[in-house]
Amino acid sequence: MKKNYILSLVCLAIINLTTITSIFAQPTAPAGKKWVAVPAMTDEFDSWDGSKWAYELWDYQVNIAEQPFIPTHMVAENGGVSNGKLWIKATYNQGAERWINSSRIVSKTMITYPMYMECSMKTNMLSCYNTFWLNNGDINGRDEIDMCESNPNPSMAGKDYMKTELASQYFVAKGGVTQRKHANFNNNNLPADNPKKGEPWGQSYRTIGIWFKDSRNIQFYLDGDEAGTIVITDDKWEFTRSMKILWDVWSQESSWVGGLPKVADLQDDTKNTMFVDWVHTYKLEEESTAVLGVGADALVFNVFPNPTTDELNVNLGSPIASGACVEVYNKLGQLVKTELLQSQENKIFIGHLPNDIYFVTVRNGFVRGTQKVVKL
């Protein structure tokens, strides 16, 4: 992972992409395997894709008597996709019992191990949890992994360590009993050569990743480096359920959350919004069925104009299968964009990508093809 991280930075330096967030490659795949994108859980957020994402607007409830009330209310208007970003805003709802309005966006697709997932995320500057997590949706029969549940600006005294802590953990609930374990990681412990070492949340976009290896082993990543590990040793508590992606923002006046946000901060649009630049999800596939190349595949498709400046037409000569997708890779073999195909004729926007050579792969059922394109 470290080598891939350095390679990404070198590439960025060469082409001077000072405004583009780094896209980190996946951990090295096991022998005989290759990482393949999962289009339904991968997005550059150029626009809202209703085939991939939905709102879930249930409110958090307190299940333990001594815990404080959670004054957060989820509403659709406080989340969405615009200007190339998924965003969730927390605002002040004066006079309401739940006086923090927020939102929650989830994937329509669920996934399990083995997989790798990462997102580029910038927290708000509120005393709230900014989250990126996985959950199967059943509180009583629950598998949950929290990749990030971090407070960038805690209002309680003595909680400044939260400003640089990647709060990660898991929950497994069976038979009314819940098992929980933390893997919290302070980014002051990142290697000395990582430029994000010691940087507080909310200053820039951070890349948060999870290598969900198997039913017992999880490796978290932060900005390209390992950042906390979970190992389950008891058969009873291993992961058994598929989970969906969730992002939300919420708060509670408890020491483990870090305290409630200030009303003035909720009313400040420079502080109250969490952003996600992209999310990439990968599954393992046999190497023999996942080779990226040009001209060696069975699927024939047309892609034009080539060269292009912003948009590609991707047209197939055969009906599309369920899950058919287009993937765009750069010269390093890194996935930089993926979309589900909606018909035999599709338009793919790549105007946000730097001018360079790319490889466009179309997967349709059990066949696929790859063509080289030039972005000017």
272 close to 265: Cβ distance less than 8 angstroms: yes
149 catalytic per annotation? yes
Rounded Cα distance, 239 and 217, in Å? 9
Give the integer Cα–Cα distance in Å for 304 and 6.
Answer: 33
Residue corresponding to tokens 């034009």: 304
Contacts 24+ apart (CB under 8 A), 108-111: 108/40, 108/51, 108/52, 108/53, 108/54, 108/244, 109/38, 109/40, 109/41, 109/52, 109/244, 110/136, 110/242, 110/243, 110/244, 111/38, 111/41, 111/242, 111/243, 111/244, 111/281, 111/283
Question: What CA–CA distance (Å, rounded) separates 282 from 202?
Answer: 27
Q: Which of 213, 167, 245, 205 is nearest to 23 (CA)?
A: 205
Q: Which of 44, 118, 149, 165 is catalytic?
A: 149
Secondary structure element (H or E) that encloses residue 4, with its range? helix 2-15
- Catalytic hit among 44, 118, 144, 339: 144
108: burial class by Cβ within 10 Å (0-12, 13-18, 19+)? middle
The closest alpha carbon to 58, from 115, 7, 103, 5, belongs to 103
| Measured distance CA(222)–CA(148) in Å, rounded | 10
222 φψ region: left (φ > 0), alpha (ψ -120 to 50), beta (else): beta
Let me know if 238 is a catalytic residue: no
Tokens standing for 334? Answer: 């890194």
Per the rule left: phi > 0, alpha: psi between -120 and 50, beta: everything else, 228 is: left
Radius of gyration over every alpha carbon of the chain, rounded to an integer in angstroms = 21
Which amino acids are annotated catalytic? Answer: 144, 149
